Amino acid sequence: MPDLLIYADTERSAALRHEVPIAIGDPFLYAERDGRVAVQASSLERERLAEARPDAELHDIADLGFHELLESGMARSELELELAMRLVERLGVTDALVPAEFPLGLADKLRARGVSLTPDHDLFAARRRSKAPAEMEGIRRAQRAAEAGMAAAAALFRAADVGDGERGPTLHVGGAPLTAEQVRAAMRAATRELGAETPPDVIVASVWQGFGHEAGSGPLPANLPIQVDLWPRDEASSCWADMTRTFLVGEVPEEARRQEELVHEVLRRTSAAARPGVTGRELHAITCEVFEGAGYRTQRTGPGDDPSEGFQFSLGHGVGLEVHEDPSLGQAGRAPLVAGDVLAVEPGLWDRHVGGVRFEDLWLVTEDGIENLTDFPYDLAP
């Protein structure tokens, strides 16, 4: 079994948060040596670490020379790296695998002392593929928060009337144009009430606002699809959810209705096909077959004269301690699904004149298929 090293804090490092499932804002060293787990600990975190990882050997920074280093005049940033290096030496680690994001400063210092380090993204990503029970509980809580946020958006759209605007028919609430900012604020307030923060750049956008990851701003149109994509993070577990619905208030263009039917068909076919052993690339191919058969260009065929038209992205991605993590559900998705994977599956189509329809669900891969963790209707009508 190879030795492993992680140096990070658990609020920003998914690799470390998976191994030490509590929030610690300061960086510390985690090591696996000859099958044993060792963790660098301060007196401030010792009890919490012992509870979170009762199997771990805790190495107090005082025993590693913390106070001596304080008196030496060493800068705090250098002192922290020196403590990590002393623990590596104490454990006798000479050759270790590390996450791809392992800090370069510490890596350089360890290599200068003769420690061989090899970045291995796949190994650390694979450790997180099948979720721990507490992570799965956090994902479910985040998903319930996402549904509450989406319900808040839908409520605003239901309350909207169609009025005149500078660019054409526009949604109004209370006599004023309904804006992307208002919808976004309502969603964030709803998820926060359930203990999940939603980032400020969640998407509320139509063809007026733009394509792709454009968050959207300003008045929202009537008679055109509006994509709402939000990804709240459960505060207790640091686990994410991801969800998209498309709403339309007013007259539904024929192109939008056609897109809606095809996206539904993709969700039906891919949910029936998904199970352990199937690859993300295979699910993406099913999606492309449906859309290409209806005359749309896809990522597989390449775009036409407009790089956004059709289906020019992957089918989705893994979700967990990162909102975008393995496995990939696109052309690069060659890793077979495993039981315990959580997948954001988001087929969609885009037209330069009308905009697009996209629906995104969160799936848990089970031993013989999937469990859909998302409970929210797909209707364009809010």
Do 100 and 190 belong to one domain? no
Residue 380 within a domain: no
Residue 378 resides in a domain: no
**Domain boundary, last residue among 108, 128, 148:** 128
The confidence score (pLDDT) of residue 191 equals 98
Specify whether 116 is located in the same domain as 138. Answer: no
User: In the chain, which residues have pLDDT < 70?
Assistant: none
Say which residues have a Cβ less than 8 Å from residue 357's Cβ, sequence separation at least 6: 225, 227, 246, 256, 259, 260, 263, 348, 349, 380
Look up the CATH number of the domain holding residue 230.
3.90.230.10
* Per-residue model confidence (pLDDT) at position 305: 85
Q: Specify the 3-state DSSP secondary structure of 315.
A: coil
Say how far apart CA 96 and CA 25 lie, in whole Å. 24
Contacts of 143 (CB under 8 A, 6+ apart): 241, 243, 362, 373, 374
Residue at 381 is within a domain = no
Residue 169: cis peptide before it, omega within 30 degrees of 0: no
Could you report the per-residue pLDDT of 239-286, keeping only the tens digit for each? 999 999 999 999 999 999 999 999 999 999 999 999 999 999 999 999
Q: Both 119 and 222 in a single domain?
A: no
For the chain, the helix, strand and coil percentages under 3-state DSSP, each to the nearest 5? 35, 25, 40
Are 72 and 165 in a shared domain?
no
Looking at the fold, whether 304 and 170 belong to one and the same domain comes out as yes
Q: Is residue 287 part of a domain?
A: yes
Q: Note whether residue 155 is domain-resident.
A: yes
Q: Which of 101, 128, 155 represents a domain boundary (last residue)?
A: 128
pLDDT of residue 303: 86
pLDDT in the model for residue 260: 98
- pLDDT given at position 62: 95
**In a domain? residue 286:** yes
The answer to whether residues 254 and 272 belong to one domain is yes
Tell me, yes or no, whether 169 and 300 share the same domain: yes
User: What is the structure's pLDDT at 346?
Assistant: 98
**Structural domain tally of the chain?**
2
Cα 147 from Cα 73, distance rounded (Å): 53
The answer to whether the Cα torsion of 294, 296, 299, 302 is positive or negative is positive
C-beta of residue 370 within 8 angstroms of C-beta of residue 363: yes
HEC secondary structure over 100-137: CCCCHHHHHHHHHCCCEEEECHHHHHHHHHCCCHHHHH
Residue 45's pLDDT is what? Answer: 94
* Two structure tokens written together for 216: 């959207």
Strand partners, 95: 116
The one-letter amino acid at 171 = L
Pair (154, 37) in one structural domain: no
For residues 111 and 189, membership in a common domain is answered with no
H or E stretch at 247? strand 243-247
Q: Are 235 and 199 in contact (CB under 8 A)?
A: no
Range of the domain at 38: 3-128
> Are 198 and 340 part of one and the same domain?
yes
Say if 377 falls within a structural domain. Answer: no
